[in-house]
Structure 1
Amino acid sequence: LEPQEYAEVVRVAVEVTAGQVPVYAGTGGPLPLARQFARAARDAGADGLLLLPPYLVKPPAAGLVAYVESVAAATELPLVVYHRDNARFDPASAADIARLPHVAGFKDGVGDLGHLSRILSAVRGELRGADKPFQFFNGLPTAETTVTAYRGLGVELYSSAVFCFAPEISLAFHHAVREDDRELVDALLTSFFHPLVSLREKVPGYAVSLVKAGVRQRGLDVGGVRPPLVDPAPEHLDELRRITEAGLAVCAGAGAR
């Protein structure tokens, strides 16, 4: 999104949610733009920020910390740092950013659980005794497939792209995990989430394209994706519809139990 579109999206999200849930707006990319987007989100009424990686290059740990520090200083909003792609933190740099006043969370999109375990220990040790709220999130694509593994490390929060187009499935899975309903968890993984991942992996960028297509299939015309992403092929749209119907059928069966 260009800056004017971005500001409008955040403003509409704030208006529609009307204070019922917090709105965290994404920012990132080149440092001047990341700071500009952060201020635009604040002015549009956002409650916080999700900081995505900087542009292109793989920076050293000290550069990443300086990047986070500079964006965090652009506003007073709480900021969650997204650990993914070229924004790879080691335990020491993760502890460094956790100390920053406005940094309120760490979202893992790498999926190296051994490395994440070391980051968890470093950050928890750094913040032990400090009166500062701090959250860890599972931010992998189709995070439901790794929820139980992350919960084993004490990371219970995750983001659900599926919620955008099949909230019934997303919520049913979340409740099943919390209630330790292994039968329903396994049924939803087998019928819906694992097939969705297989479909997602057929074409780069489908992690976004399939979500928008799923929203359209559920009745809201949100348009397609922009280049360099591509919209799903017709046969993949048919497959997405079958997968969604299978997941909804499992939810309906669980509700009838």
Structure 2
Amino acid sequence: MKLNGVLFFPLTPFTPDGQVATDVLATHIAGGLEHGPGGVFVACGTGEFHSLSTAEHAAAVRTAVATTAGRVPVLAGAGGPLGAALEQAANAREAGADGLLLMPPYVAKSPTEGFAAYVRAVAEQGLPVVLYQRDGVVLDPATAVDLARIPGVVGLKDGNGDIDRMHRVVLAIRREIGEGFAFFNGLPTAELTVPAYRGIGVDLYSSAAFCFAPEVATAFHRALTGGDQDVVGRLLSEFYGPLVELRSRVPGYAVSLVKAGARLRGLEVGPVRAPLVEPSAEDLKELARIIDTGLALVGAEARVEGGV
């Protein structure tokens, strides 16, 4: 499984009565594929993994696999209680997914050997596993190497943002495991920290902005890999920076704003589920302005409903 380019983490759309709208999800993914992502990560954090039932999770994964039709790898979120994680992993395997992004287990705390047993049990379901380091999962280099040795574990996505620790983890795994192990920058609005992560050899990153402004996300990646520092700097300053400031106002906005952004661009993805909350009217107006600014910077047509 080879991943490159911008990684697409689609939203999970809901109908007005609260059901998963698989038809809208298919439209959302198909639209994203037109912009050439390097992989699709369905039912993950941006896809409100925390709020999906096992059946809803399976429906989302089946939709992503069918829509993508082998054009790029599809990885599914899995995690939480071990029983749920095993069922999610089995369903994803049966649906034809290419791998899993393993979310941290919730509530229960354990020593490192307990977490390793959790990872091993999920990996034994047969799909390649990318570990997600965030919240209660904070790995030291030795533990990261031990987890990377588990058969089926192929990557580590970092959502904590401790560059010093992450650099030591990268160096240890590359020394002990080799260059084939994948590393991801998985911070919310990861583009803002891309220069720092690239400095420690972590080039892959997830892009939440791709969900509602794929033109901006792809232009940023193109400028980044092409060495166009003027475009990178302007997008960081005028689009990503203000987006991060807005995101930081309310807990959960890392997902709520993304879903609101998709609605502003005309895709009826529905609301977020509790405990997330919708952006205020004032924040929606600011989001529309930020999106219009980003689209203008990359020469894309501004199609934000209610934009300024």
Give the TM-score normalised by the residue count of structure 1: 0.94
Q: Secondary structure at the match of 2:249?
A: coil
Question: 1:57 aligns to what SS in structure 2?
Answer: coil
1:65 lines up with 2:116 in the alignment: yes
Aligned to 2:126: 76
Give the C-alpha shift of residue 44 in structure 1: 1.4
The answer to whether the 8 Å contact 1:49/1:79 transfers is yes
Which letter maps to 2:81?
P
For 2:270, the equivalent position in structure 1 comes to 223
Greater shift in the superposed pair: 142-151 or 116-125:
116-125
Query: 1:25-68, CA deviations, whole angstroms, 9 ceiling, x for partnerless residues?
Result: 00010111111111111111111000011012343222222211
1:144 to 2:191 alignment: yes
Does 1:4 find its partner at 2:55?
yes
User: Which position in structure 1 is the counterpart of 2:157?
Assistant: 107
Q: Please list the CA deviations of residues 158-209 of structure 1 after superposition, one character each: whole Å capped at 9, or x if unmatched.
A: 0101001100000000011101111100100111000000000000000000
| Counterpart residue identity of residue 199, structure 1 | L
Residue 299 of structure 2 aligns to a residue in which SS?
helix
Letter in 1 for 2:197: Y
The alignment's C-alpha RMSD in Å is 1.2
Between Structure 1 and Structure 2, how many residues are aligned? 249
Counterpart CA distance in 1 for 2:264 and 2:249 is 20
State how 1:80-229 maps to structure 2 within 5 Å.
80-128=130-178, 133-229=180-276
Deviation, 1:91, is 0.9
Q: Retained in 1: the 8 A contact 2:78–2:101? A: yes
Are residue 237 (structure 1) and residue 287 (structure 2) matched?
Answer: no
Runs of 4+ in 1 over 6 A off after TM superposition: none
Higher helix share: 1
Taking the aligned partners of 2:258 and 2:248, their CA distance within structure 1 comes to 13
Aligned mates of 2:196, 2:91 — CA distance in 1: 36
User: Normalized against structure 2, the TM-score is what?
Assistant: 0.79
Distance in 2 (CA, whole Å) between partners of 1:124 and 1:96 is: 13
Runs of at least 5 residues in structure 2 that lack an aligned partner in the other structure? 1-51, 301-308
Equivalents in 1 of 2:242, 2:110: separation in Å?
35
Specify every segment of 5 or more residues in structure 1 that has no aligned partner in the other structure, as ranges. Answer: none
Contact 1:62 1:93 (C-alpha < 8 Å) held by counterparts: no
- Aligned-partner SS, 1:141: coil
Of structures 1 and 2, the one with the larger relative CO (CA 8 A, separation 6+) is 2
The answer as to whether partners of 1:59 and 1:86 remain within 8 angstroms in 2 is no
Q: Contact 1:138 / 1:147 at 8 angstroms: preserved in 2?
A: yes
More divergent stretch after superposition (153-162 vs 56-65): 56-65
Would the aligned equivalents of 2:174 and 2:181 in 1 still touch at CA under 8 Å?
no
Is the CA contact 1:106–1:137 (under 8 Å) kept in the aligned structure 2? yes
Identical counterparts, % of pairs: 57
